[in-house]
């Protein structure tokens, strides 16, 4: 029997995990654009975000397929919210040096 409260809890848990995962990705991309070693930061961020997401799904979501699907729906909805409401990370503009006119 499917428990509606468990489905709502799983949806909210998945959304929270997704907000942390995709919010961390957005923050990492903003920082990587200004970093001297962006690959190191991106790799470290991927490992941390993936580990946190896996732990979150393991601890927060019951191991039944309706709750798992509900949590994955929440995770996906969080991705849509992040991509819609957070501004795009834009690369910094290069400095322009004009030749001095004499």
* Distance of alpha carbon 57 from alpha carbon 7, whole angstroms: 14
Q: How far is CA 19 from the centre of its chain?
A: 6
**The two structure tokens encoding residue 16:** 């929270």
Mean of all residue pLDDT scores within the chain: 87
pLDDT at 34: 83
Of residues 10 and 62, more confidently modeled: 10
Q: Measuring CA to CA, which residue among 59, 55, 60, 53 is closest to residue 75?
A: 53
pLDDT tens for each residue of 40-80: 999 999 999 999 999 999 998 878 899 999 999 999 999 99
Looking at residue 23, its pLDDT comes to: 93
Quickly state the pLDDT bin for 101 (edges 50, 70, 90).
low
For residue 30, what pLDDT is reported? 86
pLDDT at 31: 86
Q: Where are the alpha helices (DSSP H) in the chain?
A: 4-32, 38-60, 65-85
């Amino acid at each position: 029997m499917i428990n509606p409260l468990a489905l709502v809890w799983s949806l909210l848990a998945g959304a929270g995990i997704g907000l942390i995962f995709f919010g961390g990705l957005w923050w990492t991309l903003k920082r990587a654009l200004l970093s001297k070693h962006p690959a190191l930061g991106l790799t470290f961020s991927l490992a941390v975000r993936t580990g946190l997401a896996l732990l979150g799904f393991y601890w927060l979501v019951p191991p039944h397929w309706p709750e798992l699907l509900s949590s994955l729906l929440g995770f996906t909805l969080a991705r849509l919210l992040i991509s819609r409401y957070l501004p795009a990370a834009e690369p910094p503009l290069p400095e322009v040096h004009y030749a001095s006119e004499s």
